[in-house]
Structures are given as structure tokens and as C-alpha cells.
């Protein structure tokens, strides 16, 4: 069955990271997304435009030279037939091509024009280069991560690039497309990774304002300060995630470990958290990870093994839910979230640049001979 966004047509300007991720989410959910590759452009990152380019899955590709008037005309005609456009270039690039929001929305008022950048379309940093780590570092969130006796860690580029960037872009596109359906008026979606990463930390801003969060790293409930919310090494060099935040779950942890509940007082005495963490750390180091995973299996102690990539894909829970799929021999996460009536699906793996040009033009009501 078609996905929930079936019937929508999106033009994606091929770029890096969060914009392709947003386009992938829309395509997974059933939108027809066509990728516009620049003719002759080289890949900026290894494995881009190969079967391993998971972020490019589910979309067909058309290669155009947007500095050539004929191909620029094809691009304008595709935009005229689209519900939305996604681009992830620095501010001004699309304007220099004559494809900025002003001419596009003037000609096609219902168009939703998505712009994905690190810093946003205005502000003193809008033209500066940057990456996930820079954007996250400017939000306050990175300063709150990691132990107190070391610099903030380098997290995978999940928070600013894909959470604050790609996911917020996908959400913004769907919200604006719904508004356009109701009002007949399109708009620009300005998705800045700094804005999105800051939004993800909304709860902690509330905690700080309410006096429930210290700016000292490793001193809070959810930043590794609490002995009952953290990671622990085991005898075999593998790790556990331990997170019984609620008192009733914490009691199960202490009982299963055979510890004295009078010593492990949960949240009652934060000053003792460091000492209690050290005791748990020594205990967990005495046995391999899977010993502890078996001990807590079937309980509400909120103790789970930290899996590597292969273990995650092979875990019975992931297998039962079909959480990973294999496409062209590449294991990758399945579409999410799940829809009961209009399930998402991956139509196919990544397309080679320009592989589908004639078919796309034909399907979109244009003459394929225009590709030359």
C-alpha cells in the first residue's frame, strides 16, 4: 500500500547529510522525491552515489547542468509540477542560479521551499562554514555533555545534523505542505541545525530555569551524574546501559544485585552518587556483559546491554519488528515511524546520478528529448 505521503512530489537538490536525510524520510513515507544531481560533479564524501549511500535510497535521479539555459528551463518546469523543493546549499547559491524562493514562489504560490543550513538564512554566522560539532557547540547542549574532568565528547553527528537538521526539516516540510493544502499558500521552511539542536534541548532549559539543573557537567540526573543513569564496563570489555530513574525500577536493580537498599538511596542524596557509582562500577566489572543482561532480562530494572552494530541488527527485538532491512546487500535501518494503514517502505536503493532522467521527465509530463 502507498505510504502516508503518497501523491506528493518533491524536488531534492543533491547535497550532504541532513537535507538528504530529510528527503529520505519523505520518500520512505511515500512521497515521490526526485534527486537533482549536478552534471559532472564529483562526490564530496566517500561512498556517495554508490549502493552504500543509504541516505539516497528510494529516489530517482536526474542530472542537470544548471548553468546551461536549457537544463535550467527543465528545472523550472519540474519545480512548477512539484509540491515542494529541498536544498541544503549555503545562503545565496540558489539565488545565483535564479532558483531562489522569490521567483519560485512568485511563479508557483503553493510551493513549499525547504532550506537546510547550519546557521540559518540570516544572522551574523549565516555565511560561515561549519559542521555538526560547531552547530551543537553553539547551543549550550554540547557543554552539558560528558564527564566533568574532560572536554565535552565528540558525539556522532546525530544531534545537530540529523536530529536538529534533517528531522526538523522533514517535519517542517510536512507542516508547510499541510498548510499549503489548506490555504493554497506555500512558504519557505528555514531549517537551521543550530535552531533544531537547541529545540531538542528544550526540557533542559526548563530544568535550568526551575533550579533543577546544574551547569556543572556530570552533576545531574541525566548527564551521567546519577549512578542509576549511566553506562558501565563489564569484565569482557563490553558495556551496560543502566537507567532505573524511577524509584520502583531502582528497587529492582538493587534487589537483583543483592545490595543493601539502605546504602543505595536513589535520588535522596546526590552527594553520595559518586561513591555509589564506584561501587556499581566495581561490581559490573566482575562479570561479562551478557551475564548481567541475563540477570535483568524480563525485569523492569532498565538494565540493557550496549550492542554493537551487528548485534543491534541481529537482536530478537529488532528482528521481530523488522527494524533493519537489507537493500542491495546493505543492512540499514527500516523506515520509521510505523503507520498502521499506510505503511512506509523503501522503494529501491540509491540511484546512480542521472540514471532516471528520461523516465522522470516522461512521468512528470515533460519531453525527455529536452535532456539532449
Instruction: Tell me what percent of the chain is helix, strand and coil, each rounded to the nearest 5.
Output: 40, 15, 45
Q: For residue 142, how many other CB atoms are within 10 A of its CB?
A: 23
Q: Judge contact between 34 and 27, C-beta under 8 A.
A: no
Of 65, 77, 131, 315, catalytic? 131
Is residue 223 annotated as part of the catalytic site, yes or no?
Answer: no
The strand ranges marked E within 20-122 are 32-38, 60-64, 84-87, 112-117
Q: Of the listed 28, 53, 71, 161, which one is catalytic?
A: 161
**HEC states along 6-19?**
CCCEEEEECCCCHH
With cell 535483568, the residue in question is 296
CA distances from residue 310 to 55, 121, 300, 315, 326 in whole angstroms, order as listed: 19, 40, 25, 9, 13
Output the DSSP codes for 97-112: TT-SHHHHHHH-TT-E
Cβ(84)–Cβ(114) below 8 Å:
yes
Nearest partner of 304 among 234, 255, 221, 236, judged by Cα: 234
User: Exposed, middle or buried by CB within 10 Å (0-12, 13-18, 19+), for 96?
Assistant: exposed
What is the three-class DSSP state of 232?
strand
Active site annotation includes 131 = yes
**Residues tagged active-site:** 131, 161
Amino acid at each position: 500500500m502507498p505510504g502516508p505521503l503518497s501523491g506528493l512530489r518533491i524536488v531534492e537538490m543533491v547535497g550532504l547529510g541532513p537535507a538528504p536525510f530529510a528527503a529520505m524520510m519523505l520518500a520512505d513515507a511515500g512521497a515521490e522525491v526526485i534527486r537533482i544531481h549536478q552534471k559532472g560533479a564529483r562526490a564530496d564524501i566517500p561512498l556517495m552515489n554508490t549502493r552504500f549511500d543509504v541516505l539516497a535510497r528510494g529516489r530517482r535521479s536526474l542530472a542537470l547542468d544548471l548553468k546551461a539555459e536549457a537544463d535550467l528551463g527543465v528545472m523550472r518546469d519540474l519545480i512548477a509540477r512539484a509540491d515542494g523543493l529541498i536544498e541544503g546549499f549555503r545562503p545565496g547559491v540558489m539565488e545565483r542560479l535564479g532558483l531562489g524562493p522569490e521567483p519560485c514562489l512568485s511563479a508557483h504560490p503553493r510551493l513549499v521551499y525547504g532550506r537546510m543550513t547550519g546557521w540559518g538564512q540570516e544572522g551574523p554566522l549565516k555565511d560561515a562554514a561549519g559542521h555538526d560539532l560547531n552547530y551543537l557547540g553553539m547551543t549550550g547542549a554540547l557543554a552539558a555533555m560528558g564527564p566533568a574532568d574532560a572536554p565535552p565528547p565528540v558525539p556522532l553527528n546525530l544531534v545537530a545534523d540529523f536530529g536538529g537538521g534533517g528531522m526538523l526539516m522533514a517535519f517542517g516540510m510536512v507542516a508547510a505542505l499541510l498548510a499549503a493544502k489548506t490555504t493554497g499558500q506555500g512558504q519557505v521552511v528555514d531549517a537551521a541545525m543550530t535552531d533544531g539542536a537547541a529545540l531538542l534541548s528544550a526540557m533542559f532549559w526548563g530544568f535550568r530555569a526551575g533550579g533543577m539543573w546544574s551547569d556543572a557537567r556530570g552533576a545531574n540526573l541525566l548527564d551521567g551524574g546519577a549512578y542509576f543513569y549511566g553506562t558501565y564496563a563489564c569484565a569482557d570489555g563490553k558495556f551496560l546501559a543502566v537507567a532505573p530513574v524511577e524509584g520502583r525500577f531502582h528497587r529492582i536493580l538493587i534487589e537483583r544485585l543483592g545490595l543493601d537498599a539502605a546504602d543505595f538511596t536513589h535520588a535522596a542524596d546526590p552527594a553520595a552518587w559518586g561513591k555509589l557509582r564506584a561501587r556499581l562500577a566495581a561490581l559490573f566489572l566482575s562479570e561479562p556483559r551478557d551475564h548481567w543482561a541475563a540477570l535483568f532480562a524480563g525485569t523492569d530494572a532498565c538494565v540493557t546491554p550496549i550492542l554493537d552494530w551487528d548485534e543491534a541488527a541481529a537482536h530478537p527485538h529488532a528482528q521481530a519488528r523488522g527494524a533493519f532491512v537489507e537493500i542491495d546487500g546493505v543492512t540499514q535501518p527500516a523506515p520509521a515511524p510505523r503507520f498502521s494503514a499506510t505503511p512506509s517502505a523503501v522503494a529501491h536503493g540509491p540511484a546512480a546520478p542521472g540514471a532516471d532522467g528520461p523516465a522522470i521527465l516522461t512521468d512528470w509530463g515533460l519531453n525527455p528529448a529536452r535532456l539532449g
